[in-house]
Structure 1
Amino acid sequence: MASTLFDLTGRIALITGSSRGIGRVIAQALAEAGATIVLNGRDEERLAATHADFSAEFGAERVYARAFDVADATAVATAIAEIEASIGAIGVLVNNAGIQHREPMLDLDVEDWNRVISTNLTSAFLVGREVARHMLARGEGKIINIASVQTELARPTIGPYTVSKGGIRNLTRAMTAEWANGGLQINAIAPGYIHTEMTQALVDDDTFNSWILGRTPAGRWGTPADLGGPAVWLASSGSDYVNGQVIFIDGGMTVVV
């Protein structure tokens, strides 16, 4: 008899920032494991295209899309209430929405700092809080926050991103401290250097690419597909006693010097 530990059939999963990149791949992995997925993004055209692709693959009855700004508290509260009422109980939340801004801190505008912190960190608090209200009432739920190797490491010119991802680690711990006794499991996935649209310029930079290959024990960039399995695990019954953890998926980068 096949194990059902990682079967997500019947669970509804909301994945923020899921019209492309890491979020899209995680949404696909959850759907492949049986989940009904709710895609999210601010670019309505790109979101509609992803919704159409996934509906064709998994069936329209298992794929939904909701465009809302995850950094807008009012929009978040309205969207979560609507999803719960019209689609069903959110059993899994993946807080994936994020942006990058590369600039030395001495030259950094406060507006750009605030934009990164709001999109990467405050949004996880806002969406997590609204979803948790419903999960706690039901006594169960899974929240997966997307961190980064920058949760533990820093590099020049990405100060706001580094701070936001360090915040994700402690937001995950704070959520665990307050919500674990209500039946929730809250954990974080910390990707290493993943080859996506966001990092394409780095891959194309011969010097940086060589540094990544030499710095990573696995000897390669990660791919979004490398994140699917861990996301399914954390969304499933197979992780019911895992709480407050940051799971690094980085080819070993953070454990060597």
Structure 2
Amino acid sequence: MTQVLPILHPTPRFLEGQVIAITAADRGFGRVMAQGLADAGATLVLVGKMGEQLAGLASLIERSGATAIPMQADVSVPLDWIKVQKRIVEIFGALQGVVHSADKRTHPSLTLLSENEWMDLFQANMKSSVGIAQTLLQRLPGSWLTIVGPHLDEGGLQGNTLRGGLRGLVDSAHSEGLRINLLLPSRSPSGEDELNIGVVNAVTALASPALMHLTGMCIDVPLPVVQRSDLDQLSPEHRANFLPPEPPRSEP
């Protein structure tokens, strides 16, 4: 597992004392965002479905001198997230912010999705974001939320619908007093951390106490284009995370 590039040389620990939860920390942008926030001094709670990957990342971050604990949970299930949030407060006494990866993707053609597949996608992206925002407003009104939404290269009805829904959530939650922002990366995460540094920098900057006045924003985050030859060098797991799924083959 490679280390993410430092944000500055040397990286100031301007997030010292902040407890930040990161969802989907076991994959994609979540993994590199966790390393960037740790380098900036934050105490991290790594949330995701894959316990082994979370434990490995927590160990890597701990070896760098930061604090990170893994918590296995499915945040698209409201009770799972409520339990995680409660446990964080029990352990650390506070939760300053949440970085939520609402970037689960599937085939860009809506007609190729079954009803169950569409609902899984909706729950992973939209329902989980609404649930986290609601619980922060109700239980931790001083906390902030940064959502990393569906990538801008994911078009079609589903991509536009989910991004539109998240923009509406940002407007609504901001008007009710939650400090919330939405980041929209130009593409999926690549297998090279340095190509994802734009998302890391944006998330870390929004977590800075100096930028606490920024809220209700939807920010496009341009990232370097990954060439096809670069994709060929990735592991099958990383390549599957970057490329959209193949359409189902019709039976002969």
Structure 2 length-normalised TM: 0.76
Q: Which residue of 2 aligns with 1:240?
A: 212
- Cα RMSD, aligned residues only: 2.6
1:67 and 2:72 aligned: yes
Letter in 2 for 1:227: V
Q: For residues 5-44 of structure 1, what are the structure 2 equivalents within 5 Å?
A: 7-44=14-51
Which region of structure 1 is more displaced relative to structure 2, 37-46 or 123-132? 123-132
Partner secondary structure for residue 147 of structure 2: strand
> Is the aligned partner of 1:82 residue 2:81?
no
**Partner residue of 1:191?**
185
CA deviation profile, 1:151-209 (whole Å, cap 9, x unmatched): xx7634xx334322221121111110112xxxx42111111124426xx9xxxxxxxxx
How big is the shift at 1:55?
A: 1.6
Q: Would the aligned equivalents of 1:93 and 1:131 in 2 still touch at CA under 8 Å?
A: no
**How many residues end up aligned between the 2 structures?**
214
Contact 2:150–2:162 (Cα < 8 Å) also in 1: no
Q: Taking structure 1 as reference, are residues 36 and 190 closer, same or farther at Cα in structure 2, changes over 3 Å only?
A: same
Q: How far did 1:252 drift?
A: 10
The worse-fitting range, judged by mean Cα deviation, of 72-81 and 141-150 is 141-150
User: Offset of 1:6 from its aligned partner?
Assistant: 7.6
Q: Identity over aligned residues, as a percent?
A: 23
Partner of 2:232: none
CA–CA distance in 1 between the matches of 2:20 and 2:108?
35
Aligned ranges 1:1-257 → 2 under 5 Å: 7-59=14-66, 62-102=67-107, 104-136=109-141, 140-150=142-152, 155-156=155-156, 159-179=157-177, 184-196=178-190, 223-250=195-222
Change in CA separation of 1:147 and 1:195 when aligned onto 2, cut-off 3 Å: closer
What's the offset of the Cα at 1:135?
A: 2.8
1:15 is displaced (CA, Å) by: 0.5
Distance 2:68 2:189 in 1: 26
Counterpart residue number, 2:236: none
Cα deviation, 1:121-177, whole Å, max 9, x if unaligned, reads: 1111112222333332xxx32210112453xx7634xx3343222211211111101
Find the aligned partners of 1:128 and 1:231 in 2 and give their Cα distance: 17
1:170 partner letter: G
Q: Please say if residues 145 and 172 of structure 1, whose CA atoms lie closer than 8 Å, have aligned partners that are also in contact.
A: no
- Normalising by structure 1, report the TM-score: 0.75
CA positional deviation for 1:118:
0.3
Q: Mark the runs of 5 or more structure 2 residues left unpaired by the alignment.
A: 1-11, 226-252
Distance 2:27 2:82 in 1: 23
- 3-state DSSP of counterpart to 1:7: coil
Unaligned runs of 5+ in 1: 201-221
